[in-house]
Structure 1
């Protein structure tokens, strides 16, 4: 469409008429200003080009609701005076609608992402971390402090103490909490597949590989936290490659030539004595120092007795809901669970509680439902007739067992003394002698 500087249309193509749903010949001689007042289209390009004296592009709306991408171009005479405005239009209604729907989808996805973040946060916060004991309070205080920075953390402790939960706790309270949390069990991945799983591989790298290739676990952790559980199980060859990646923050996929980078926070965990492994040359010293920037030792369950009862209550409630079964523990059962040694730590406690909820046929769980290993541990024979030790040693052993049993049963040494028929100072002295706490 061509107009003069007064806005009078001089020429209009057939396509222009089709776009505006009018006969193009009806546009000739009319003013764009009048057509705008009549609502045929708005805004108009002529005054914009006259003002700017340069090419103008914008979105115009017709009276039929169409969205047009309009471009206006100034035409000058040899003296440099503006004499004509040439414009052409494209119907972009569908594109504008798509843009609108895309914006709505992006807003919805952002909302869903926020909801997922909240749910993830709730999950990590409510995943069974009980810290009534001073020992666990210190662990969580340290974890919260180190969460604020990106320093490497090494979680130490026996199997089942909850190292992965502490790792998630650190991630959840860090600046990377909205990023991924990628957990790698170094002891569960076959040694021959570790490199391909950890670093990923390119298409056709080896027989049986995914024809499209695969992104590795390290790459998936970009922007978040990479948690290496059972890191002490890595072979020396893989320790070298892990060390190189930690130092350089880059790596190659198997069969690849392009350098890959991943920005993640590293947390490692092990139930092994890595210092001893370093001395035995089964774990690299340089990797150990890289991982051991901030060590956090999680105490075994037997050393934080204050946490046992809250853990029992928490997981019993979880399994009641999961299996839709109402169950409660007899007082004698609670006593035995509280004073059990728990060599498998929290994991052993969780497994036992789930087993009791599933296998017990009555609402009340009694000592008869407990495994023999727990009942026998709390009812050991005071004397073995085949014991060939001297009498004084046997008597000391029996006395120690009696005192330990009384210590579990009674709250104070006064109550113990009354029950055993001796003085309170005697109880205190004997407890000290046998190291019973």
Structure 2
């Protein structure tokens, strides 16, 4: 085979190689190279042949030159280069020795690794974000343990927690106010956990669930033989059980008037006497009460004692409805989704559109309603992702039109593999909405952010869907 043929073969190998090949002599002069290779260094194809890699290093085009490194070290080497054009290049060089052992050529291979490098950087950033999220979750879990599942993001609830933290170490009576289901019981438990009584009993009494005929015996207890059917050894009352700890009277507005007077005496004297008993007992307890009723109005109506009201109303804490602190809704949903999944060993998730609807929902039942809904959806939805279509109609009906439109479009696209048809359907919906809300094609153009001729074209495109198109009044 003659030299011309060898020359042609070598040149064709260099030009068609997937790797950018560059060959230099023993002085670093470029003899051959892939013609497209130097564009990543900002050079034109006719600028590199005959150039010295040392000169290119000085000019900052090669940082550094792999061929120069191999010429110096006389062994295979690999480096990462950062070019003036912002590219990242991996270069590998190999020395070529003649029969006498002298280095006569260096062959290097270069690959543009910019996209891979960017992906690696993005992955590293993602890892850092994930670690940050994990840290945030761990901190949240730690706070959840301390605050007994009080998950907050809203400023109003953060201020309430500051108040709770400030009064927890005292023995002052606390009255928790707010609608049903806002978490008054949880706040009461949090106060107990932060208090000096945290290792002592926390006794919760729902005043609305105990029949009036049994109320006194349940609250104060009774001695043996106090009444027909009394237990043989008597019974310890709920106040007595709270000795040393915290007594939490929920729905205190439901207390019968007769019991209000007796409770007032207990609060003042910290003494109780069981039914049928002859000796008072000193009881040391911290009192927290809660109600969803307007005690001021009840006092005016004569259904709640004013003197008891003043005793309970030492430190009032008003807990707002969930609709007044929507910032808390997403983290509450996340919490109950995770809690329910763990409880039933499931892996259900909520679609972002579902979150949007739930955030805008008014939640008349507050946190209790949210918790129950999340559990019901996870248990009754067969799909792993819970979409707006799975929500009760009463909740979907209260959503605003924007969210309704967004998730209906997502439902339309769900399961379809034809991108063109899906995009056309979305476009048709948006054109239809603009058609209904605007009077002219110019208004439609402004509404959609496109040109007026484009509006006319699209109306004609979907004329079977809309019927007669609107005309320009101008």
The aligned counterpart of 1:132 is: 153
2:341 is the counterpart of 1:288: no
Q: Provide the rounded CA distance (Å) in 2 between the counterparts of 1:145 and 1:126.
A: 13
Q: Provide the rounded CA distance (Å) in 1 between the counterparts of 2:153 and 2:273.
A: 45
The aligned counterpart of 2:290 is: 269
Alignment of 1:395-434 (within 5 A): none
TM-fit CA distance, 1:256: 0.7
SS of 2:190's equivalent in the other structure is helix
The aligned counterpart of 2:432 is: none
The aligned counterpart of 2:179 is: 158
Aligned residues, how many?
265
The aligned counterpart of 1:69 is: none
Q: Provide the rounded CA distance (Å) in 2 between the counterparts of 1:299 and 1:126.
A: 18
TM-fit CA distance, 1:378: 1.5
Q: Provide the rounded CA distance (Å) in 2 between the counterparts of 1:251 and 1:326.
A: 51
1:181 touches 1:225 (CA, 8 Å); kept in 2? yes
What residue ranges of structure 2 are gaps of 5+ in the alignment?
A: 1-141, 402-445, 450-474
Q: Provide the rounded CA distance (Å) in 1 between the counterparts of 2:145 and 2:227.
A: 38
The aligned counterpart of 1:387 is: none
The aligned counterpart of 1:191 is: 212
2:363 is the counterpart of 1:342: yes
Q: Structure 1 residues 203, 276: CA separation in 2 closer, same or farther (over 3 Å shift)?
A: same
Q: Structure 1 residues 237, 143: CA separation in 2 closer, same or farther (over 3 Å shift)?
A: same
Q: Provide the rounded CA distance (Å) in 2 between the counterparts of 1:355 and 1:367.
A: 14
1:124 touches 1:169 (CA, 8 Å); kept in 2? no
Alignment of 1:40-51 (within 5 A): none
Q: Provide the rounded CA distance (Å) in 1 between the counterparts of 2:236 and 2:176.
A: 27
Q: Relative contact order (alpha carbons < 8 A, sep ≥ 6): 1 or 2 greater?
A: 1
2:348 is the counterpart of 1:327: yes
What residue ranges of structure 1 are gaps of 5+ in the alignment?
A: 1-120, 381-417, 422-437
Q: Provide the rounded CA distance (Å) in 2 between the counterparts of 1:237 and 1:185.
A: 17
Q: Provide the rounded CA distance (Å) in 2 between the counterparts of 1:133 and 1:326.
A: 28
Q: Provide the rounded CA distance (Å) in 2 between the counterparts of 1:419 and 1:253.
A: 75
TM-fit CA distance, 1:322: 0.4
SS of 1:268's equivalent in the other structure is strand
| Residue deviations 1:135-181 (CA, integer Å, cap 9, x gap) | 00011000111112100000000000000110011111111111110
TM-fit CA distance, 1:128: 2.6
Q: Provide the rounded CA distance (Å) in 1 between the counterparts of 2:145 and 2:218.
A: 26
Alignment of 1:17-416 (within 5 A): 125=146, 127-378=148-399
Q: Provide the rounded CA distance (Å) in 2 between the counterparts of 1:308 and 1:420.
A: 32
Q: Provide the rounded CA distance (Å) in 1 between the counterparts of 2:324 and 2:216.
A: 38
The aligned counterpart of 1:21 is: none
SS of 1:378's equivalent in the other structure is coil
TM-fit CA distance, 1:124: 5.3
| Residue deviations 1:118-146 (CA, integer Å, cap 9, x gap) | xxx99853643112110000110001111
Q: Provide the rounded CA distance (Å) in 2 between the counterparts of 1:122 and 1:241.
A: 38
| Residue deviations 1:338-371 (CA, integer Å, cap 9, x gap) | 1100011101000000000110001011112111
| Residue deviations 1:167-223 (CA, integer Å, cap 9, x gap) | 011111111111110001111111110110100000111122211100000001010
Q: Provide the rounded CA distance (Å) in 2 between the counterparts of 1:336 and 1:258.
A: 59
